[in-house]
Structure 1
Amino acid sequence: MFKPILKFILVLIGFLSSYAMANDLPNMCSRDQNVNEFTILSYHEIADKSETLDSTYAVTPSNFDRQIHWLMDNGYHFVGIDDILAYRNAGKPLPGNAVLITFDDGYESVYTNAYPILKKYKIPSVIALVGNWMRATDKVDFDGHMIARSKFLSQTQIKEMVGSGLVEVASHSCCMHKGIAGNPQGNMEPALTTRQWLVEKQRYEDEKSYQQRIYNDLLENNVFLERYTGQKPRVMVWPYGRYNIEVRRIAERLGMPIGLTLDDGSNTRITPLWGLRRILVEGKMTLQELEFLMWMRNGNFTDDARTTKAAHVDMDYLYDADPIQQEKNIALLLERIKKLGVNTVYLQAFADPDANGAADYVYFPNRHIPMRANLFNRVSWQIAKCTQVKRIYAWMPMIAWQLPKNNPAAKDTVVTLQVDPTHLNMGYPRLSPFSPKARKVIKEIYEDFAKSAYIDGILFHDDVTLSDFEDDSVFAHKQYKKWGLAPSVTQIRTDRQQFQQWTKLKTHYLDAFAMQLAQILRDEQPGLKTARNLYAQVALNNNSEEWYAQSLHESIKNYDYTAIMAMPYMEEAPDAQKFYDEIVKHVKEEQCGLERTVIELQTVNWRKANEPISSQELDQTIRHLYTLGVHHIAYYPESVYTNNPDADMMNQAFSQKPVRMYANTMPNQ
């Protein structure tokens, strides 16, 4: 009698393993240990393929019916907005496995093919309506395509559904479900979160104008929808899933405390109402895939935590004073990325023409650093729209900024007593992280960057470090006194106990500042992931925290990803394979070490006049790392023009699957 159960378990394990392999999903270590409180599904059209406007997100009526029945048969309970608010505001418990059904854009097929099922089983739902589409009389401008108004819900149909008590009307903006110019090059980007490039004025709209534009649009839609449907929206469904701190505050002011996103992850007790996460149900999604995603959310795993296959790209290689040549360079990069098969790009946001490790210029508009070219937004958007890349990280310094001499914080720099030749010393010019003026400037640089480009993550430069002879500035002295230490580095170094305490405090201080900067970015890019470059010696030598104020343990704990610069030629390691093996060994000793560590390889030998490392060696190294169970691999630098490393060979190497166990990602039977 155990054979049917055993067969079921084997089939399920086989499916989940193959699904995870196909989607590059490793074992995942969730930072948020709270349980999933409810799951939200995002539907669009419910129509057969021949009747759809966009087949990508159109679910056939038969599949919708099967999905609803699967949910009912497997212990899921449908809830509405009232239930969620009663739970969050008054503590009224939700039923187990609570699910909210939502429909975006207001397609007529929702009334024809979904509403009968909702009505039959008394299922609450939310429909998100775009005011400008609803009030059209003949044609709807649907992302640049003119569509018959009859393809969308009529006023009569909406009022009938609202009158049933099952359907709640949400705002999907009045005129913001479209793209607007997001940079001088003319990329069309989401209107709700983009500071518009004003072609005639050759500048971006200012912050006051931006917020007024958003306020006017959301207010107009609320007034219209209340008159049109008889119901005032209290839910804002962010167009394209994009939102930021400004728009969610405006929505709250207008009586919409709930915001529905397309962010990845579960809805736990710490998920804010304005940032509730949804599973986007796609047209080709099978019932098994939906089942897997539901299980992932209930297990509080992220469903896009795929293995990292990253190219680390210098923007300096793309920049050209000739805009025509610059566009050609970008086109070459895009074609190369496609061939490489990478799913992640670390993209330089700063310029370092004198190669001293500090940012002299940046590639985005800001208040403090000269802009070499308004290029980052252009390149990142093109990569996102034209290639297979899923995540773009901005590669940015934390403290290695060379400010103009007239900047009030320009002289507030890290003071180094001496360089210790016994370990690697980068010696970048850096602003003192202990200077209030310097911290303010750095935060403002990050604020400006956050509003100028779309990114999925931040990769902090390897400047997040202070050596065992740093920082001896007057600002640091004040901080050391606050910590209860001697006021100078020289005095601290004479007391072993103070020295060890000082080392730990510096490590924590730098990481805490990085998290503050990440939060500034996250206000504009809510799903932002964090990564940082870490010196290889930090993973190899127990004394290295004293040398760098970097800790493998603390880094894995604080950042989503730690990118170890595993570069044996730079480190002059006598045995490269042993070098990699030792790093991986120490990473495995950390909780979630493999899940949160990127092994970043070098493609040139800087100690031999930038001699290229052979693609065959890189291929063998990647394959070897995969056999060790490494999930995440990157390489630097990416050479756009010399095919180094060889794109076809890297694609083949990256196509290999890491060796890993799936026991921790199996449902309990």
Structure 2
Amino acid sequence: MHFILPKFFSLLLGVLLFLGLTLPARAADNAYLVLCYHDVVKDVRAEPDPDAVDLDQLVAQFSWLKENGYHPISVDDILAAQKGGKALPDKAALLTFDDGYRNFYEEVFPLLKAFNFPAVLALVGSWMDAPENGTVLYGDRPLSRSKFVSWKNVKEMQSSGLIEIASHSYNLHRGILANPQGNQEPAAVTRTYNASTQQYESDTAFQSRIREDLARNSQLIEEKIGKRPRIIVWPYGRYSQETSEIAEQLGMPVQFTLEDGMNHANTSAAQREIRRFLIHFNPPLTGFADTLRVTTPKPVMRLMHIDLDYVYDTDPDQQEKNLSRLLDRVLESGANTVFLQAYADPAGRGTAQALYFPNRRMSMRADLFNRVAWQLASRASVRVYAWLPLLAFELPDNDPASKHLVVAANGDTSGYRRLSPFSPQARQAIKEIYEDLAKNTPISGLLFHDDATLSDYEDASSQALAYYASEWKLPDSVPAIRNTPALLNQWTKAKTKYLVDFSLALRDSAGRYRPGLLTARNLYASVALNPESEAWFAQSLPVFLNAYDWTAIMAMPYMENAADTEIWLKTLATKVLTEPQAQGKVVFELQGTDWRTNTAVSGNTLAQQMRLLKLNGAKSVGYYPDDFIQNRPTLDEVKLELSLRVFPNR
């Protein structure tokens, strides 16, 4: 079968090139991009599918790649470059096609042969195993088995040398029950909830399920075409470190996700976590070219900080009504990020008295966080950061670690009740809590609460004092440290770094189950305004900017008893934004409640404060708390400055 490029597209390409629709050459650093396609149809309008592309558009895209100096490569090329062999060409590109549609054989394969472009085709075994006259369940849609390629087609394409067959799992391309409320979430990263036993799948059972599924698909592909796959294309792009390790053990070290971005064959993650640009919504050539423009704009956060305690209700029906109200409000707000409370604080102490997710160390007030986080991400299209204390967990009395508390040398007990970070038992308890959070909930990031402080009298616990002496070569006495300015400064810097390092270790532990977790940490405004106050808090704006993706400045003038809120906010913005990196890594978090009088701050006032911050250089703003039950602040007023969909914010 021969393929002839239509004259129309040759003419169109000439026009585009004349207009300068080209991309700059990429540096010869073994960089490459991967394009992800799904179905290719003759007319998307006749066969609506957000992931499908018109055949004519695909012809134009392939022609554009060729005319603009792109070099389609194979997985062999990537692996050779990784091992120090032949370097990848400039503007290297790998083509991948997911799901194994019949149109790939009938329409795309001839096109690939005409252009001599290699490609990867990822197959779902359970769909391939379906009877010829049967159906497969694609998400929640039944599709005819005839819509997918046959094994005869697959063997022919694999024999051509152009097409490499990858595993797309045997039966993980689906949702499974993820919580008591009935949400279906990706099978490859979700612990199944058993409604009959009201129990979640154990770690061992989860890992066995993943291993058996991937092994079954690899065996099936080998039986049908004589070659085991070395590539796993994760369904929905969802994976974790534990599933990645299982795939590698089964002979699939090359692993594709659905995260945007360039790849580099000479990095440690050269085989795992290969990023792909998803080509969907049938883009025109201009949109296709824009997709490949790898730019990194400064991120902008528009934040709503939510108390899950407001959603929780002992009446399940009322709880669902609360959740619906929250979802509608967040969607209407135009925010792109939610900091969502993952712990319960019914006593209002700012500590975790219980948790909203299954875990090994504390009681669970309700199995609610997964449900709310999933609904916010899938229905309101926001990034959800789990908001947890770093140290302020009230462990059960029978937990030995519960007695390992931060101690103030001056006897002050006015601050948060915190576990000592210098206690190995306390650190292990907190680590397990963060791991269980990530195992059981779909999150994009972590927000470390403002409990993460140590004053200039803390920590004076016996374990902390022993640590200072053994690791930092300081006196094992807080008064002795405080009496010498040089020692006090050393102690302060060491504590700041110690808390940062602990928080990042928690990120890494949680990241095993949720790769790519972003981080944010609350910072008191007084620390930003007066760097010398690091001694009172063990916090530092420059240190935070280097350590975290986001620093959430508590821009709360009423809490700070500011005499003039406008002057105070302007001074804060000016001071903070002089720091390198601050523009793209600081979100100013205003207060929605004046806790001195326990009254709501009006939407107009918050909007004016956001506008003032933005006029003084801030890009990212938000507020806490949002009372979606009482519509406080008034959303119509605050969203004019919060929303990224309202001109000129969009």
Decide: shared fold, TM above 0.5: yes
Shift of 1:264: 3.6
Give the Å deviation of 1:84.
0.9
CA distance in 1, matches of 2:571, 2:254: 48
Out of 54, 63, 69, the residue aligned to residue 75 of structure 1 is: 69
In structure 2, what is the Cα distance between the partners aligned to 1:568 and 1:471? Answer: 29
Unaligned runs of 5+ in 1: 1-7, 17-32, 662-669
Per the alignment, residue 368 of structure 2 pairs with 375
The counterpart of 1:126, out of the listed 120, 127, 136, is: 120
Q: Which amino acid aligns with 2:377?
A: A
Q: Does the CA-based 8 Å contact 2:30-2:81 persist in structure 1? A: no
Preserved contact between residue 570 and residue 612 of structure 2 (Cα < 8 Å): no
- The equivalent of 2:5 in structure 1 is none
Code of the residue aligned with 1:126 in structure 2: it is V
Q: Distance in 2 between matches of 1:576 and 1:49?
A: 58
Q: Tell me the residue number matched to 1:56.
A: 50
Q: Does 1:291 align with 2:296?
A: no
1:573 pairs, out of 545, 555, 562, with 562
Please tell me whether the aligned partners of residues 339 and 648 of structure 1 are also in contact (alpha carbons under 8 angstroms): no
Aligned length: 625
587, 596, 599: which one pairs with 1:607?
Answer: 596
For the pair 1:229 / 2:218, whether they are aligned, the reply is no
Check if 1:355 corresponds to 2:351.
no
Match in the other structure for 1:157? 153
Answer yes or no: is 1:467 the counterpart of 2:455. yes
Q: Indicate the SS of the match to 1:570.
A: coil
Is 1:526 matched with 2:515?
A: yes
Aligned-residue identity in percent: 45
Does residue 416 of the first structure (1) align with residue 408 of the second (2)? yes
* 1:176 match: 172
Q: Indicate which of 311, 315, 319 corresponds to 2:308.
A: 315
- How far, CA to CA, are the matches of 1:240 and 1:363 in structure 2? 26
Q: Does 1:495 align with 2:484?
A: yes
Cα distance change, pair 599–229 in 1 and its aligned pair in 2 (3 A): same
SS at match of 2:402: coil
The corresponding residue for 1:258 is 254
Structural RMSD (CA): 2.4
Residues 57 and 282 of structure 2 are in contact (CA less than 8 Å); yes or no, is this contact kept in structure 1?
no
Q: In the TM superposition, what are the counterparts of 1:447-486 in structure 2 within 5 Å?
A: 447-481=435-469, 482-486=471-475
**Partner deviation per Cα, 1:295-325 (whole Å, 9 max, x = no partner):** 22xx5x37xx742111110011111111121
- Mapping of 1:88-237 within 5 angstroms? 88-137=82-131, 138=133, 139-237=135-233
Change (3 A) 1:279 1:598: same
**C-alpha distance in 2 between matches for 1:75 and 1:557:** 38
Deviations 1:145-204 (A, max 9, x none): 221111111222212211111111110000111111001111111111110001221101
**Which residue of the partner structure matches residue 239 of structure 1?**
235
Read off the aligned partner of 2:41 and give its amino acid letter.
A
SS in 2 for 1:200: coil
**1:113 CA displacement:** 2.4
Q: CA deviation at 1:240?
A: 0.6
Within 2, Cα distance between the matches of 1:499 and 1:385? 49
Residues 1:402 and 2:390 aligned together? no
Name the amino acid aligned to 1:43: Y
Q: Aligned partners of 1:121, 1:360: CA distance in 2, in Å? A: 63
Distance 1:414 1:113, change over 3 A: same
3-state SS of the aligned residue for 1:273?
coil
Distance 1:46 1:426, change over 3 A: farther
Match of 2:586 among 579, 597, 600: 597
Tell me, in whole angstroms, the C-alpha distance in 2 between the residues paired with 1:646 and 1:91: 61
Distance in 2 between the 1:346 and 1:533 partners?
11
Instruction: Pick which of 361-370 and 149-158 moved more.
Output: 149-158
Q: What TM-score results when the alignment is normalised by the length of structure 2?
A: 0.92
Match of 1:364 among 336, 357, 380: 357
Q: In structure 1, how many angstroms separate the alpha carbons of the residues matched to 2:69 and 2:611?
A: 43
Structure 1 residues 419 and 599, CA gap change in structure 2 (3 angstroms):
farther
Shift, 1:486, TM fit: 1.1
| Closer/same/farther in 2, CA of residues 212 and 639 from structure 1, 3 Å limit | same
Amino acid at match of 1:405: D
Equivalent residue in structure 1 for 2:571, among 579, 582, 589: 582
Q: Which has the higher contact order (CA 8 A, sep 6+)?
A: 1
- Looking at structure 1, the residues matched to 503 and 363 of structure 2 have their Cα atoms a distance apart, in angstroms, of 22
Work out the CA distance in 2 between the residues paired with 1:579 and 1:657: 29
The residue type paired with residue 561 of structure 1 is W
Q: Which shows bigger deviation, 559-568 or 53-62?
A: 53-62
Instruction: Pick from 597, 615, 625 the counterpart of residue 637 of structure 1.
Output: 625
Q: Which residue of 2 aligns with 1:27?
A: none
In 1, the alpha carbon distance for the partners of 2:519 and 2:631 equals 29
Q: Which moved more, 1:425-434 or 1:513-522?
A: 425-434
In structure 2, distance between residues paired with 1:658 and 1:125: 41
Which moves more between the two structures, 647-656 or 593-602? 647-656
Shift of 1:117: 2.0
Equivalent residue, structure 2, for 1:649: 637
Secondary structure of 1:543's match?
helix
Question: Residue 173 of structure 1 contacts residue 239 of structure 1 at CA under 8 Å; is this kept in 2?
Answer: yes
Shift, 1:587, TM fit: 2.4
How far the C-alpha of 1:291 sits from its partner, in A, is 2.4
Provide the TM-score with structure 1 as the length reference: 0.89
Give ranges in structure 2 of 5+ residues lacking alignment: 1-15
State the 1:246 CA deviation: 1.5
Q: Distance in 2 between matches of 1:152 and 1:283?
A: 21
- The 2-side partners of 1:108 and 1:540 are apart by 63
